[in-house]
Amino acid sequence: MDIPSSVTQLLRHAIEEDIGHGDITSSLIIPEESEARALFIAKGNFVLAGFPFSREVFQILDNNVIFKTFQAEGAKVRRGDVLGEVAGKTRLLLAGERTSLNILQHLSGIATLTAQFVDAVAGTRAKILDTRKTTPCHRFMEKYAVRMGGGVNHRYGLFDGILIKDNHIEAVGGIKEAVSLAKAGHHLARIEVEVENFRDLEDALEAKADIIMLDNMTIADMTEAVKIVNGRVALEASGNVTLDNVREIAETGVDMISVGALTHSVTAADISLKIVQ
């Protein structure tokens, strides 16, 4: 995978944030010529994601570092599994340890939560989508982790998809007006509209939106919306989606379910990096 230069620069900043003007402890007690290898070890059960970025951290420090992975991205690993290995100057390994682990643990947490949502809707037509509720400047990595967990990326940003939301509608005076302006002004084929009630739903259908987002609707209303639409356009459910209710939402017949929690409310996976003889 090609890592964008913006992400590499972000990783450089992360390294600088941690190391500053130097690792005082290692410089005092680790001989400069010392070499070692260290193993990434799973301390829990989770879905693995993030080794390309974890590797990049060490390669920024020293491109001669040897980095091996023993588990595939997206693999379901178990406590005690050895996930990978890094070898090089001991000081380098210690300098990159925390930043590398922080990224690997965070992205594995996203992949793990995504996989739980995907498993919860198995057997239905619904796909699990992410949102733009990502950590600033970490979107590329976090959306990558969603894919490793079996989810689907929604639009990357404001520039690559037309999504007309409540504030857009309020600003221009209505759904039909907003859709008409979008169709006239841009080459993008698909236009998605957020609706909150059946009146808005009918307006979006009449305006010939390509995707309709059912925002914060009840299960009963979503079920009725699916009947009204009857396959004419794709339907996305959004708002307050949890592992407890996602199955019920999927069984209404919607095509997609977007979940902000995939990236804004995750628990990091537990991974250690241990130097071995």
Which residues are the active-site residues? 98, 133, 165, 194, 215
Alpha helix (H) residue ranges in 121-238:
139-148, 166-172, 175-185, 198-206, 219-229
The values of phi and psi at residue 118, to 5°, are -60, -45
105-128: burial string, b at 16+ Cβ within 10 Å, e else: bbbbbbbbbbbbbbebbeebebbb
Cβ burial, residue 225 (10 Å; 0-12/13-18/19+): buried
Strand order in the sheet with 35-42: 66-69, 82-89, 35-42, 271-276
Torsion region of 81: left, alpha or beta (phi above 0 gives left; psi -120 to 50 gives alpha): beta
Which of 200, 193, 196, 208 has the alpha carbon at shortest distance from 161?
193
Contact 133, 260 (CB under 8 A): yes
Q: Is the dihedral of CA 230, 236, 238, 242 positive or negative?
A: positive
Task: Say how many Å lie between the first and final Cα of the chain, rounded.
Answer: 31
Q: In this structure, what token pair is assigned to residue 166? A: 């409540």
Cβ burial, residue 173 (10 Å; 0-12/13-18/19+): exposed
Q: Is the dihedral of CA 179, 180, 185, 187 positive or negative?
A: positive
